[in-house]
Amino acid sequence: MKKTLLSTFLLLISFGFSQAQVSASWKLLENHFTEAPHHWAELVLKNTSGKKIDSGWKLYFNTVFLSVNAEVKNPGLGITHLQGDFFVLEGQSPALAAGEEVRIEYRSAEPYLKNSYAPEALVFLRSDGSHFEVKDYQVQEISSDGLAEMAKDTPLPIPTGELTYERNEGLSLLPEDALPPFLPSPKSWRYTGDPLRIKNAALAVSDIPEFAKESKFLLEALGKGYHPRIDAAEAPVQIQLEKVSGLPDEGYRLSIRDRKVLISASQPQGAFYGVQSFLAMMPGEFWKEASGQLILPQVEIEDAPAFGYRGFFLDVARNFQPKTQILKILDMMAFYKLNVFHFNLANDEGWRLEIPGLPELTEFGGRRGFSTDEAEFLWPYYGSGADPSKSPSGTGFYTISEFQEILRYAQARHIEVIPEFGVPAHSRAAIRAMEKRYRALMGEGREEEALQYRLAEDDDQSKYLSAQNFKGNTVCVCQESVYTFYEKLVTEVQGMFRDAGVDLKNWHTGGDEVPRGVWTASPVCNEFIAENPDIQQQDLNDYFRSRAAEILKKHGLQMGGWEEIGQSHQGETVVPNPKFADQNWRLYAWNAVAGWGGEDMAYKLANAGYPVVICSSANFYFDLAYDWDPDERGHTWSGVTDLYQSWKTVPGKLYLSHDLTIEGKDWDWTAVGSNFTRLTAEGRANILGVSGQVWTETIKGTEMLEYYIFPKMLGYIERAWAGDPAWSDADTEAGMRAARESEWNVFANAVGQKELPKLEGMFGGFAHRVPKPGVAVRDGMIFANVQTPGLIIRYTQDGSDPTASSPIYTQPIPKKGGEKFRVFTRSGAHGGLLELDREQKTIDGRELE
């Protein structure tokens, strides 16, 4: 017993010692926004092991935001780009005595914008080949005021308290009866009386057989929040679902009057959305804790969607999300009347679906962790962790049964699932997995099997780097085994749908961001071109698209892909490709950075004859940061997107969707509109709908995903269902801007007063973002406001951080110094801290550049 205790004690001491080998710290030294933009930073490593660390060590780390040719100031050391966001600091690394530290300075060729841009997930590799994760790591942060000072010579709108206050000045708290009954706002509604307060009354539901599933869904949902102790003296609530002709397939009418609820629809989809609208009128308390009381508005509603395609795209390849979260996302989609789940299941950084006969795809491509050679699993992209068995964002996939559960769950909610497996680029996980298969079978002498599904070739010397900085991520389109693999994939996935009792109609091929330089030094492609004189090197992408389309057509599937599959190049200009315009390929138009000239590509493609889904990166990419605050995680390559940016999108007049370019310059509606492609009658008919996207490079875990999408996604949801906002039809620009401000006030109030309280409770609750307040000082008085009225602003004046019991801001207060502000929801959730007097004028004693 004593030996066991001693062994355990020594093991714990050893474990603790091994976890404290090296500490690290990082800080920004210089930040340049103009004249060759770049930043300098310093990384300090300290030997905390208590004994010498030999020379020859290496430091691996992740960051999406470091240039691949970063310059290191220290002689003998360099930063080598490996793949994607994975780098290694290596070279003549010095020995470190116990307690000794080394300072490494490096330069990267872009400005530093976010506190999350620093290197992360540091892995220290000793000279003897052993490694450990550096857990003791501190990153020095910059403030909004500090970043604003750095960017003062640019128009970049850094959201200081003052700027945020100015943006919110047109908002005011509105009475509840001035708000729509729920979001997305119905086409028409009319309140007909005071709300009904139902207590312990029975529910009597009647329906027709065609709507039986919808009425069952309603009863089950109500049962989660309404637990009455039936009082015979209370008249029951009569709920009836009826079928009527003349309503659109997804349209409905809903009437609540005198304890009678009538939902009318012509099709089950419409009945389902009527049910969801009834549930959407339940207050936040209903979703958090069951009670015997219901509060029902008396209202008349007539409603139908503007678009038939209302999609939500989720990437689980770059960082994984578990099945339980996917089901929760589907519940959210149904609640907000979205009807297409675009499911990205494979990319360079991961393969997330079990495929019979090809176990390597998930055994290799579904696992990430640290190694020096990426032989047994993928590298730990996006800081997903060194241990593949303890990497929930890097390691994971859906079994066939789990995937089929997702399919059936979606079907029950009238949601179509469209799988995406990106080709020919974005395929590194599949390529590496099939290479592992190839080598194993070749080692067994089974050459024919080894070559059957191979995606790469031996001697391709083509040099290229993808948009996400991957090498070797594009399949060899001249190799017949690529098409054998693709048809195997299509057949197996189609079988999963069929066995789940779900129709697979649409398939997304990806097709985007094929790097320049692919196949240019490919012996297989050179031979293929020589044997096929009608095909030139520049035609290989089109050749692949044609072959993929043939496979999908053979299996009765409609082909879809990102906008690139319907584009070609005329010199440096991207134009619709007339070659495939009559093939009915569905194009997802995404590349719409404000100010770069491609904002009207969706219209050009639709006018050319392609069915188009508008996915505008500048409006509907929810992995973009909420704003330019350095504390807000997320991408900025297409600008930033918050609730307002997604809400003010005008799908039918996209030039009205912006006020600023990505650089922060004014966006002139008149000037831009005069050169903007206009939809023809055919083009307008080809706009199928809209889609909101979440790519997950910067997202780890379920809570972070929810933070990224709520509340900003509510603006998209409004546009997906309601279509173009009313303000966009005003006759003058001044009229449009005035009407937009009024309509935005209504919508922002609906979010703050109604939707956020529901989001905190429904489906287990969503970890939504709470904004920072706007704060301004005018004549010695402090004024504060918030983007979504209905939230609570609290403050302190004693230097402490505001809590849920701090004073509530209701009117301007005298400035004393040291004030801090924070926004809270009614439940006590809060957003980021705003310190009124916090300024960052220097970095490490240096004046900000």
Q: In what order do the strands lie in the sheet with 774-778?
A: 774-778, 781-785, 813-814
Helix axis angle, 480-500 to 400-411, nearest 10°: 60
Query: Helix, strand, or coil here: 161?
Result: helix
Checking if the pLDDT of 8 tops 50, the result is no
DSSP conformational letter for 15: H
- Residues 6 or more apart whose CB falls under 8 angstroms from that of 729 comprise none
Residue 427 contacts residue 350 (beta carbons within 8 Å):
no
CA-CA distance, 72 to 77, in Å (whole number)? Answer: 7
User: Which residue carries 């099945």 as its tokens?
Assistant: 323
CA-CA distance, 383 to 386, in Å (whole number)? Answer: 8
Checking if the pLDDT of 2 tops 60, the result is no
pLDDT, tens digit, 9 for 90 and up, residues 481-492: 999 999 999 999
Residue 745 contacts residue 172 (beta carbons within 8 Å):
yes
Tell me what pLDDT residue 345 has. 98
Checking if the pLDDT of 419 tops 60, the result is yes
Tell me what pLDDT residue 830 has. 97
Checking if the pLDDT of 610 tops 80, the result is yes
Query: Residue 807 — φ and ψ, nearest 5°?
Result: -55, 145
Going from the C-alpha of 18 to that of each of 23, 50, 126, 694, the distances in angstroms are: 12, 11, 12, 38
CA-CA distance, 335 to 351, in Å (whole number)? Answer: 29
In 751-842, alpha helices (H)? 756-759
- On the question of a cis peptide bond just before residue 651, with omega within 30 degrees of 0, the verdict is no
Q: What is the mean pLDDT of residues 94-119?
A: 97
Checking if the pLDDT of 110 tops 60, the result is yes
Q: What is the mean pLDDT of residues 224-230?
A: 95
Q: What is the mean pLDDT of residues 132-145?
A: 96
Show contacts of 801-809: CB within 8 Å, 24+ apart: 801/833, 802/830, 802/833, 804/828, 804/830, 809/773, 809/784
Q: Confidence class of residue 837 from pLDDT cuts 50, 70 and 90?
A: confident
User: Which residue carries 């050179």 as its tokens?
Assistant: 526
Going from the C-alpha of 762 to that of each of 3, 314, 331, 332, 759, the distances in angstroms are: 53, 20, 9, 9, 6
Longest dimension (CA), the chain: 88
Checking if the pLDDT of 452 tops 60, the result is yes
Residue 711 contacts residue 332 (beta carbons within 8 Å):
no
Q: Confidence class of residue 683 from pLDDT cuts 50, 70 and 90?
A: very high
Tell me what pLDDT residue 119 has. 98
State the Cα torsion 470-476-477-481 to the nearest 10°.
-130
Checking if the pLDDT of 805 tops 80, the result is yes
Residue 311 contacts residue 340 (beta carbons within 8 Å):
yes
Checking if the pLDDT of 14 tops 70, the result is no
Q: Confidence class of residue 572 from pLDDT cuts 50, 70 and 90?
A: confident
Q: Which domains does the chain have, with CATH numbers?
A: 21-141 (2.60.40.290), 188-303 (3.30.379.10), 309-735 (3.20.20.80)
Checking if the pLDDT of 15 tops 60, the result is no
Q: What is the mean pLDDT of residues 54-77?
A: 97
Run of H or E residues at 487: helix 480-500
CA-CA distance, 76 to 74, in Å (whole number)? Answer: 6
Q: How far is CA 524 from the centre of its chain?
A: 37
Query: Helix, strand, or coil here: 108?
Result: strand
CA-CA distance, 468 to 462, in Å (whole number)? Answer: 17
**Bridge partners of 296?**
196
Checking if the pLDDT of 524 tops 50, the result is yes
Checking if the pLDDT of 414 tops 70, the result is yes
- Residues 6 or more apart whose CB falls under 8 angstroms from that of 129 comprise none
Checking if the pLDDT of 165 tops 80, the result is yes
DSSP conformational letter for 471: S
Going from the C-alpha of 593 to that of each of 169, 250, 571, 637, the distances in angstroms are: 27, 32, 20, 8
Checking if the pLDDT of 278 tops 70, the result is yes
